[in-house]
Amino acid sequence: MSEITNEQRRHSAAHLMARAVMNVFEDVAVDIGPATDDGFYYDFDLPHRISTDDFPKIEAEIKRLIELDEPFVKKVVSRAECEQMLKGQKYKLERLADIPQGEDISTYTVGDYVEMCRGPHVEKSSQIGVVKLTRVAGSYYRGDEKNKMLQRVYGIVAKDQAELDAIIAREEEARRRDHRVLGRELELFTITDSVGPGLAHWLPKGARIRVAIEDYWRKKHYEAGYEIVYTPHVGRANLWQTSGHLGFYKEGMFPPMKVSEGEGEGAYVEEYYVKPMNCPFHIQIYQAKKRSYRDLPMRMAELGTVYRYEKDGVRHGLFRVRGFTQDDAHILCTPEQIVKEIKDTVNFAKAMLGKFGFHDIQAYLSTKPEKAVGDPERWEQATASLRAALEEEGLSYEVDEGGGAFYGPKIDMKIKDALGRPWQLGTVQFDFNLPERFDLTYVGADGKDHRPYMVHRALLGSIERFFGILIEHYAGAFPLWLAPEQIRILPISDKAMDYAKKVQAALRAAGFRVDIDISAEKLGAKIRLATVQKVPYQVVVGPRDEAAGVISARSRTDGDLGAMKTEDLIARLKAEIEA
């Protein structure tokens, strides 16, 4: 028997949880229950309101079902057979209706429970291991808020109790690092109902970190030969029709704004959409004048804010929002330049992610699907250039055969955070579609028009999501160069306030973010507060320090540093940032 994978355990546990809930409660209708990256869930519709108080009895029933050691039996059935097997389960029957006529219908049966499913599963229930339920939440049927709200129960599974204990410990640590909680406690960002769900406000401390990220981003892009551009937040409907977004992506866009244009008899109504992506705007910049092969490669980068209609049940803190800023870039080049451009881009992504502390990078190369646009030779060259870049940079990668978009192959880069969780960040995506749709050309050395290669590229993804990942990766204790408040000065009393301001001015002049605790609290309380708020350095000053021309410094990582000159602390801080 082959080794059992996590996906098999998770998927099989989801089936048993659905069976257990149906055994424990009455009038249960089930919808879907997939495996996830860290566990599984299942959506239920039943009169009883499931709560964490119900988890012990559900878990006990799951344990009983596991111990029955029943096989998971796969069977391919006809549509009529499947309808009979799922009789009375309205959500399952609706899902069955989505399957195209003539397509095989795969089912799995364990005991008296049958599920329309492609697998994979364990061979028998005893191989699942140990299951624990973690939380329950609401989820609209099919993700549409117009539909009924179902109850989504989440769980985790492990091969034995020791592994489960380790998973639970990681889950508890993940909750401790939750960016939504730390964002509130450390006063980094807020999302309010008054403005709208999924629309984040960057508070002053969070904004300081964003500025540090963006300043570094801009500096490195200029060094890499990119030109930074700015584009509008809205565009006419015909732009999005040409790009194909209205045909393929309209459900993810906000409704249009209707605007009256012209006057008198020539007046008409025009529709404008807030942009879900930046690419059509960058194409407009490329088309602002006729381009020659001598102008290429043309590298455009933008911290462009876009808007997407993310529905209820999908939004999650900063990880999934409705308004976010992409670190977006597009490269237009000749076929001869493409290999070098891709290699440089992969190297750029690797260096950028490394700066933020992410060195464990796994790449995924997605190749041509069955239905694709573009010249087959271009697909081959594009795929070869992506593969060569990954191998030259020594990046570990997996190939997803046929997993590319219809408009081009791509590389996705995933990093692992401090808890070992994978996050997709960098993307390098070829596009053979938009150059055709917008009829992009350049004049070659032969004097004739040629079609340029176009590459979409992101290094960090969105600034909001990346910030959320950083918060959780560092548990809010940001490295010195990113910390919103790098140094906090703690005057012993009001008599030391003037000296505190003098020290603050010297540190600010050296380029550091410095605040003074002006409260009337005692020194011990000030130190505790600075520690809780994860300030990297504390500087204590009093009349004696002023008389001696020194400060008393304390590091978040190294503890008490003793008395030193302000210039000595500056030298230490600069060395730490360089390192």
Q: Measured between alpha carbons, how far is 435 from 299 in angstroms, rounded to an integer?
A: 15
Catalytic-labelled residue, pool 11, 282, 330, 526: 330
Catalytic-labelled residue, pool 89, 326, 504, 538: 326
279 labelled catalytic: yes
* Torsion, CA 436, CA 409, CA 387, CA 224, rounded to 10: 60
Catalytic-labelled residue, pool 31, 43, 328, 545: 328
Q: Give the strand order in the sheet containing 105-110.
A: 73-77, 105-110, 113-116
328 labelled catalytic: yes
330 labelled catalytic: yes
Q: Measured between alpha carbons, how far is 363 from 426 in angstroms, rounded to an integer?
A: 9
Paired with 153 in beta bridges are: 42, 136
For residue 344, give the amino acid letter: D
- Are 331 and 457 spatial neighbours (Cβ–Cβ below 8 Å)? yes
Catalytic-labelled residue, pool 210, 308, 322, 465: 308
Q: How much of the chain is in helix, strand and coil states, percent to nearest 5?
A: 40, 30, 35
- What is the full DSSP assignment across 274-298? E-S-SHHHHHHHHTTS--BGGG-SE
Catalytic-labelled residue, pool 10, 343, 410, 526: 410
Q: Measured between alpha carbons, how far is 127 from 15 in angstroms, rounded to an integer?
A: 13
- What is the full DSSP assignment across 418-464? TT--EEEEEEEEE-SSHHHHTT--EE-TTSSEEPPEEEEEEEEEEHH
326 labelled catalytic: yes
Burial classification of residue 207, based on how many CB atoms lie within 10 Å of its CB (0-12 exposed, 13-18 middle, 19 or more buried) = middle
308 labelled catalytic: yes
Catalytic-labelled residue, pool 8, 10, 221, 279: 279
DSSP state, residue 325: E
Place of tokens 């899902």: 95
488 labelled catalytic: no
What is the Cα 59 distance to its own chain's centre? 32
Positions annotated as catalytic residues are 279, 308, 326, 328, 330, 410, 456
